[in-house]
Amino acid sequence: DTEVTQTPKHLVMGMTNKKSLKCEQHMGHRAMYWYKQKAKKPPELMFVYSYEKLSINESVPSRFSPECPNSSLLNLHLHALQPEDSALYLCASSPQVRHRTAAYEQYFGPGTRLTVT
Amino acid sequence: KQEVTQIPAALSVPEGENLVLNCSFTDSAIYNLQWFRQDPGKGLTSLLLIQSSQREQTSGRLNASLDKSSGRSTLYIAASQPGDSATYLCAVLPQNSGGSNYKLTFGKGTLLTVNP
């Protein structure tokens, strides 16, 4: 099973709402990632979790709050978002972030299309 | 700073044609290079991963090559089909010591249209 699942597929939220995005993988991967992708642009890294610990935060505003409750699950909590946060949010996983001279393939989920009104 | 460029930005071909997509990167110190496919509004599907020590990888009708010293990779698609229509992204994982060697650097993609 090389699948990363994400829910919901679509989300519309107001600027005062609180919502969460969910990502799950059952490949035994120990690194998980959140990316943001705007239309016609490549994905931009937001967060990296390694062994359930946040290892990288790419200077993401605090209105985005990631959480890794266990090795299979990654959440992104959203609060007080702005219309410019509307984008496709992608989750990815890999066996590890890196190991010595080798690096690992990242597997992406289908994404959540977020619209902030 | 690593930069990845993909040429052409868009390509339209008739069904059955063999085609080549190009990817170039400015810093040859990379761990690996990955080719992805993205359908409109969907996630990324990993097509091929080439480690820095490898020269090419093949999967079905796809063949990707890597020339690390010249900073180039090509994705060859044989006997193209309308179902191959998508955006193709290449991404490198840099080996630099600047603390960003966890972070895929993506090109802007090539939009491929295969006409029946």
- Please report the pLDDT score of residue A96 as a whole number: 75
Report the alpha-carbon distance of residue A73 to residue A49 in Å, rounded. Answer: 11
CB–CB contact B101 A98 (8 Å): yes
Phi-psi label, residue A80: left if phi above 0, alpha if psi -120 to 50, beta otherwise: left
**pLDDT confidence tier of residue A103, bands split at 50, 70 and 90:** low
For residue B57, list its beta bridge partners.
B64
Each residue of A43-99: pLDDT tens digit?
999 999 999 999 889 899 999 999 999 999 999 999 999 999 999 999 999 987 766
CB–CB contact A43 B106 (8 Å): yes
Each residue of A10-55: pLDDT tens digit?
999 999 899 999 999 999 999 999 999 999 899 999 999 999 999 8
Cβ contacts of B30 within 8 Å, gap of 6 or more: B2, B52, B68, B92, B93, B94, B95
A110 touches chain B (CB under 8 A): yes
**pLDDT confidence tier of residue B41, bands split at 50, 70 and 90:** confident
- Please report the pLDDT score of residue A78 as a whole number: 97
CB–CB contact B108 A88 (8 Å): no
Largest pairwise CA distance in chain B: 47
Bridging pattern class, strands B19-25 and B10-14: unpaired
- Please report the pLDDT score of residue A77 as a whole number: 98
> How many CA atoms does the CB half-sphere of B4 hold within 13 Å?
25
Each residue of B46-95: pLDDT tens digit?
999 999 999 999 999 999 999 999 999 999 999 999 999 999 999 998 88
